[in-house]
Amino acid sequence: MLHTTEIGSTGERVVFLHGLFGQGRNFVPIARALEPDLRSLLVDLPNHGRSGWTDSVDYVAVADAVAADLRDGFAAAGPVHVVGHSMGGKVAMVLALRHPELVDRLVVVDISPADSAGAGEFEHLLDSLAALDLTSVVRRADADRALTAPIPDDRVRGFLLQNLRASDGGGFAWRANLALLRAGLPSIAGFPDADRLGDGAGFDHPVLWVAGERSSYVRPEHEPAMRRLFPRTTQVTIKGAGHWVHSERPEAFVSALRVFLRAGQSQG
């Protein structure tokens, strides 16, 4: 069900989990920058990219699916590092809590184990994409022009249009399961209850909690829950970055990853 791409062939293993509207390939520049010290697995989460679509949105089910894929493949030789951004950060946290034997070090990027603010923004984006008349799209530029008014930010619009693909029968189609993601926004914005997170609901390995300076997804009131579930958390803030930390400040993001993951190598 999951489509994955490996980059690199040497070094410790690190898995990247993208956010809403994303795809594994969003992390290609980061993975390339980490070579040859790390080799990366870029995952398309369900209902995104080239992975299969599901009938519901559930973090536990997604984390368990990622765990099954890792156990049979990338993590068959032992635990791996996991990096998750936004929605992918919530998947990564649930993965670490439910399957701690698969995760060495965890990096959570601009998200918290709590209800997320900003759902209204994603409602608008999903509604804008769904309203696009794909029968009128002959080339990608047509979609870009049609979405300029509802989504005026060129960077955000370009990111979203990565989900537009040429269909086999001609014309265009969305890679992302827009209808399900729209209906499932409350679940995407939320976080599973403690009774679904596994025995003890705690992960005692090192965790790097990365926040964007200009983002509101990591707030002081989230810290108690984060440290209760992940007691060995170190928080860093990337200056000048918004929610998409890895694309807005890639050099600072790569530097933070290198320092954190190399610390694990020196201890091993």
Classify 90 in phi/psi space as left (phi over 0), alpha (psi -120 to 50) or beta: alpha
Q: What percent of the chain has pLDDT over 70?
A: 97
- What is the rounded distance in angstroms from the CA atom of residue 173 to the CA atom of residue 252? 35
Element (H, E) at 165: strand 164-166
| Residues 6+ positions from 183 with CB-CB distance below 8 Å | 57
Predicted confidence (pLDDT) at residue 267 exceeds the cutoff of 60: no
- What is the rounded distance in angstroms from the CA atom of residue 239 to the CA atom of residue 251? 12
Q: How confident is the model over 116-158, as pLDDT tens digits?
A: 876 668 899 999 999 999 999 999 999 999 999 999 999 899 9
- What is the rounded distance in angstroms from the CA atom of residue 169 to the CA atom of residue 23? 23
Q: What domains appear along the chain, each with residue ranges and CATH number?
A: 3-116+190-267 (3.40.50.1820), 119-183 (no CATH)
Number of H helices, E strands in the chain: 11, 9
Q: How confident is the model over 228-266, as pLDDT tens digits?
A: 999 999 999 999 999 999 999 999 999 999 999 988 664
Strand pairing report for 207-212 and 172-174: unpaired
Predicted confidence (pLDDT) at residue 20 exceeds the cutoff of 70: yes
For position 121, what pLDDT does the model report? Answer: 82
What is the average per-residue pLDDT within 48-70? 97
For position 268, what pLDDT does the model report? Answer: 46
Is there a contact between 59 and 91 (Cβ–Cβ < 8 Å)? yes
Assigned token pair, 230: 């992940």
14 burial type by CB count under 10 A (0-12 exposed, 13-18 middle, 19+ buried): buried
- What is the rounded distance in angstroms from the CA atom of residue 39 to the CA atom of residue 98? 24
